[in-house]
Amino acid sequence: MSTPLLELDRLTLGYTSSPVVRDLSLQVGAGQVISLLGPNGAGKSTTLRACSRLLDPMSGRVLFRGVDTADLSAVQVARQGLVQMSDERSVFRALTVEEHFKLRHRGQRLDKTVAYDYFPALAKLAKRRTGLLSGGEQQMLGLGRALARRPEVLMVDELSLGLAPVIVQRLLPILRRYADETSSGVLLIEQHVQMALSISDHAYVLVHGDLILDGPADQLARDRHLLTASYMGESGGQHAASEPTNLQDANKP
Ligand SMILES: Nc1ncnc2c1ncn2[C@@H]1O[C@H](COP(=O)(O)OP(=O)(O)OP(=O)(O)O)[C@@H](O)[C@H]1O
């Protein structure tokens, strides 16, 4: 198998001496959309912080294109293409949509043609001040700006925050298309679980910092009971002492 674009290798993370994510291994391959699911406080955002180099691992490694990122700064990993959609969410209300693409992002140029290709509606709104955009349009601009950085792995934490499900349903497939068309990877945190699974190849479920379950997204989408049970900590054992349930392994003869 080729080297994954992003690999978390037995990652343990925390803010104090007690870890909030334990021994997490996960992979994002070229052209894959991977969901990281789990209830509130499970450690999902903490995991993305470590990938973005905003938090040093207590143990374990984050590898980008097979290279340990431990010696890289947050700006360096982002420049190399491991990008978290974050501050793109905030818009400058007095600037137009077009003007947002002239702003560099931590020194990186934005390619507005990429954003307009994925969101033709943005091109039509180019001259509008962003203070006058709807919440969905602002999120479109945020995602458009993240894609305009041409990430090799894009990490998205709760695209749906504050948005109506119908808008999320329109935005999420863009991530699928981006992965398919550019062979980039996407690592997605999303509370709309079924919507996330519908665009994902594979999903991992974290509960209280432990990987409880992982498997092909279509299989998890079909087995809602297993997914619900995992959120309740009933699948594969509750804490690190037990092995996580891997649906692919479980199905091997
Ligand atoms: N800056 C911080 N300092 C100390 N503890 C933190 C910090 N940020 C998060 N935590 C704690 O780490 C744990 C995991 O939080 P995290 O935000 O990663 O969870 P999450 O799965 O993303 O949750 P949610 O879905 O609610 O966003 C929680 O117990 C949280 O209170």
User: Nearest 5 degrees, angle CA 23-CA 28-CA 31?
Assistant: 170
DSSP run (H or E) holding 211: strand 210-216
Handedness of CA 57, 69, 241, 201 (dihedral sign): positive
Question: Token match 């079924």: residue?
Answer: 194
What is the pTM (predicted TM-score) of this model? 0.91
Task: Lay out the sheet containing 6-14: strands in order across.
Answer: 19-28, 6-14, 59-64, 67-68
pLDDT by residue, tens only, the chain of 253 residues: 689 999 999 999 999 999 999 999 999 999 999 999 999 999 999 999 999 999 999 999 999 999 999 999 999 999 999 999 976 667 788 899 999 888 877 777 888 999 999 999 999 999 999 989 988 888 889 999 999 999 999 999 988 877 778 888 888 999 999 999 999 999 999 989 999 999 999 999 999 999 999 999 999 999 888 888 887 766 544 444 456 777 765 554 4
**19: CA distance to ligand 1 center in Å?**
11
Name the nearest CA neighbour of 101 among 60, 145, 155.
145
Give the separation between CA 137 and CA 143, rounded to whole angstroms. Answer: 10
The DSSP output letter for 170 is H
User: Nearest 5 degrees, angle CA 183-CA 188-CA 189?
Assistant: 175
By alpha-carbon position, which residue is closest to atom 29 of ligand 1? Answer: 41
**4: CA distance to ligand 1 center in Å?**
26
* Pocket perturbation via mutation, ligand 1, pick of 21, 37, 44, 156 by most ligand atoms within 8 A of CB: 44
Handedness of CA 58, 59, 64, 68 (dihedral sign): positive
Give the separation between CA 92 and CA 197, rounded to whole angstroms. Answer: 32
Ramachandran region, residue 247 (left: φ > 0; alpha: ψ -120 to 50; beta: rest): alpha
Q: Which domains does the chain have, with CATH numbers?
A: 6-81+152-250 (3.40.50.300), 87-150 (no CATH)
By alpha-carbon position, which residue is closest to atom 30 of ligand 1? Answer: 41
Please tell me if the CB atom of residue 44 comes closer than 6 angstroms to any atom of ligand 1: yes
Please tell me if the CB atom of residue 41 comes closer than 6 angstroms to any atom of ligand 1: yes
* Pocket perturbation via mutation, ligand 1, pick of 8, 37, 45 by most ligand atoms within 8 A of CB: 45
- Under 8 Å between Cβ of 57 and 5: no
**42: CA distance to ligand 1 center in Å?**
7
**110: CA distance to ligand 1 center in Å?**
31
- Under 8 Å between Cβ of 248 and 201: no
**47: CA distance to ligand 1 center in Å?**
10
Give the separation between CA 113 and CA 115, rounded to whole angstroms. Answer: 5
